[in-house]
Amino acid sequence: MLTLAVQKSGRLTKKTLKLLDECDINLQNGEKAKLKTRADNFDLEILFMRDDDIPEVVYDEIADIGVVGENVFLEKNRDVKIIKKLGFARCRLSIGIPKDQEYNGIQDLDGKKIATSYPEILKSELTRRNINAEIHEVSGSVEIAPGIELADAVFDIVSTGSTLRSNGLKEVETLSRSEAVLIGRKTPLGKDQKTLDELLFRINAVMKASNRKYILLNAPNESIEEICNILPGMKSPTVMPLAEKGWSSIHSVISEDDFWKNIKKLKELGAEGVLTFPIEKMIL
């Protein structure tokens, strides 16, 4: 049985379990499970763990795979591999300094004291930029470090920046970015590789559909070619004649990012009755 380690609580837990649900993998007890559970309809066992422990348990082969933030993967630096980036829980790891302090560029950090919970990532990024700073590792409440004169700056996860601002800091430099990743051990999985391949197949189908919509519209026949150029779809749009002469129904797939950008063009070409529908899975 393939064993997957996931965060027992926190920002990744619900999104990971939601992804498994979208892959039609039904877990016994779902979010109510405390330590471990298994799927009713898939050869998969779930271990609920602290996120910092997930790279270690995958490395030690207690779990075959795990879902963890890329920041944790990089910080723990265990001999495991990223199998797939999952596209959720995106954030950045940035430098924050007191809001009234002037900042002219990364060179301003030279010789400064920086507090962080991610010393390995920070050391790597500063070395890459030829910056020599003193790193102070703290386990929590990084943002208060400048206020108590423990450090001149902080290096921490930033999503909206509200935590920095509430502590009198401003974000001045992004050194790294992170998202949820599926990690795995480097040793062969044997018979469980087939299960992992099936899991990846389902994850890919869900991810490809996540930012796309099925679009349906009616258009005059003389505009079909131009509309098809705007809506190329997966291979090509479906065009079906309507009962009203000179008109057709066009079915295609469009990304959410492109919809509002292109809707005006579609209307100018005579498109009417535009409808969009969510897509659950997309298999190319």
Over its length of 284 residues, how does the chain's per-residue pLDDT go in tens digits?
999 999 998 889 999 999 999 999 999 876 666 789 999 999 999 999 999 999 999 999 999 999 999 999 999 999 999 999 999 999 999 999 999 999 999 999 999 999 999 999 999 999 999 999 999 999 878 999 998 889 999 999 998 888 899 999 999 999 999 999 999 999 999 999 999 999 999 999 999 998 899 999 999 999 999 999 999 877 889 999 999 999 999 999 998 888 898 999 999 999 999 999 999 999 87
Helix, strand and coil percent figures for the chain, each rounded to 5: 35, 35, 35
Backbone angles phi, psi at 25, to 5 degrees: -105, 115
45 assigned to some structural domain: yes
Task: Check residue 28 and give its pLDDT.
Answer: 86
Tokens of 140: 């929590």
| 33 CB-near residues (< 8 Å, 6+ apart) | 27, 46, 48
> Does pTM top 0.95 for this prediction?
no
Q: Which domain holds residue 227?
A: 211-278
Same domain as 172, residue 96: yes
Task: Check residue 15 and give its pLDDT.
Answer: 94
Are 221 and 213 in contact by the 8 Å Cβ rule? The answer is: no
Task: Check residue 139 and give its pLDDT.
Answer: 85
Alpha carbons 127 and 130: distance in angstroms, whole number: 5
What's the CATH number where 36 sits?
Answer: 3.40.190.10
Task: Check residue 93 and give its pLDDT.
Answer: 96
Alpha carbons 141 and 115: distance in angstroms, whole number: 10
Task: Check residue 30 and give its pLDDT.
Answer: 62
Same domain as 111, residue 171: yes
Are 107 and 130 in contact by the 8 Å Cβ rule? The answer is: no
Same domain as 117, residue 68: no
Q: Write down which residue in 165, 190, 209 finishes a domain.
A: 209
283 assigned to some structural domain: no
Task: Check residue 10 and give its pLDDT.
Answer: 81
**What is the spatial order of strands in the sheet that 238-241 belongs to?**
238-241, 247-255, 212-220, 272-278
- Total domains in the chain come to 3
Same domain as 130, residue 8: no
Tokens of 198: 């099936």
Tokens of 250: 């066009």
**Burial group, residue 257, by CB count within 10 angstroms (0-12, 13-18, 19+):** exposed
CA angle (232, 85, 63) in 5-degree steps? 140
Same domain as 83, residue 103: no
Same domain as 98, residue 57: no
Are 245 and 216 in contact by the 8 Å Cβ rule? The answer is: no
Same domain as 170, residue 193: no
Task: Check residue 32 and give its pLDDT.
Answer: 62
Alpha carbons 213 and 184: distance in angstroms, whole number: 32
